Amino acid sequence: MEILRTPEERFASLPDYPFEPKYQDVAYPGGKRLRMHYVDAGPRGGDCVLLLHGEPSWSYLYRKMIAQVAESGCRVIAPDHIGFGRSDKPVDQAEYTYAHHVAWCTSLLDSLDLAGVVAFLQDWGGPIGFSLVAAQPQRFSAVVAANTILPTARQRPEGEVEGWPGPVIEAWMEMSRSAPELAVGDIIQGVTVEDLPVEVIAAYDAPFPNESYKAGVRAFPQIIPVDPEDPGALHNRKVWQALERFDRPFRTIFSDNDPTTAAWAEVFQRRVPGATGQPHTTVRGGHFLQEDSPRELAEAILSVR
């Protein structure tokens, strides 16, 4: 397996991202280990907050939230998924399975021995993070779900969103598969309400010196479960069974300008017991609401503890 590692100089002087890099070797199915990067900010003795990013972002997405939450006295862990950010990047897209991503994140949490965790989950951070919660519910004290999904590829089972995946997701799957070049920073700007400075757009591009580094970026859309017999669809049904027993605080905070995920807020509110009575909110923003409403998201995390 060929593995690329983005040169460290690509991450020099990124705006609003002063965090010292931390690395952990994570277990890889088959015995090989990969180096996973994570931000570890705030006091070690503080309550723990886990921030999981999605596609095609990395922990840079959380830079403003990390600072605010850490300054409140919390320990903040913000990993880069394998294939993203400062983490190792296998070249073969076949390495990026749903199960592998869950295994890598599980290995990181086990290695850090995290407990009492408030999980903030957005985009692919949702399905991966919900899988962690389902497997080890005792590790988590609360969940905040933001602009995320947990599809089983069925048509309206028990009220699930109709017509999944829909034309927007289908177009994104096709573009990520066939486009000769994926401009990551421009993609993030395209579904963000705020006009991002050119240096911020460049920071999102920093982990990817060329297209050979983007196997993980191209692979994530392809593993969205779109058939009821997909391994991911079968897995998500089991995750739903666990979430339907999760009675610790579960809050949704979705944006007002992300039609692809908007209907899922109500699905989580209705199906997760811990969502009952929570102050679910809608904030200004596109898909990457961390860029549009970071203060409100940080406050939501701190209030759910």
| 287 carries an active-site annotation | yes
Q: Which listed residue (47, 80, 123, 292) is catalytic?
A: 123
| CB-facing half-sphere around the CA of 157: CA atoms within 13 A | 12
With 0-12 CB in 10 A as exposed, 13-18 as middle and 19+ as buried, what is 291?
A: buried
Asked if residues 59 and 39 have their Cβ atoms less than 8 Å apart, the reply is yes
With H, G, I as helix, E, B as strand and everything else as coil, classify residue 26: strand
Q: In what order do the strands lie in the sheet with 281-283?
A: 22-27, 33-41, 75-79, 48-52, 117-122, 140-146, 250-255, 281-283
CB atoms within 10 A of CB 304: 21
Looking at the DSSP bridge assignments, the partners of residue 78 are: 39
Q: Compute CA 279 distance to the chain's CA centroid, rounded to the nearest angstrom.
A: 22
Q: Is 18 in contact with 12 (CB distance < 8 Å)?
A: no
Is 53 catalytic? The answer is no
Q: Please identify which of the residues 40, 47, 88, 258 carries the catalytic annotation.
A: 258
Q: How far apart are CA 301 and CA 297, in angstroms?
A: 6
Structural tokens at position 243: 């979430």
Q: Are 244 and 271 contacting, i.e. CB atoms less than 8 angstroms apart?
A: yes
User: Is 88 known to be catalytic?
Assistant: no
Round to whole Å and give the CA distance between 144 and 116: 14
Instruction: Say which of 37, 88, 287, 292 is annotated catalytic.
Output: 287
Q: Which positions are catalytic?
A: 123, 258, 287
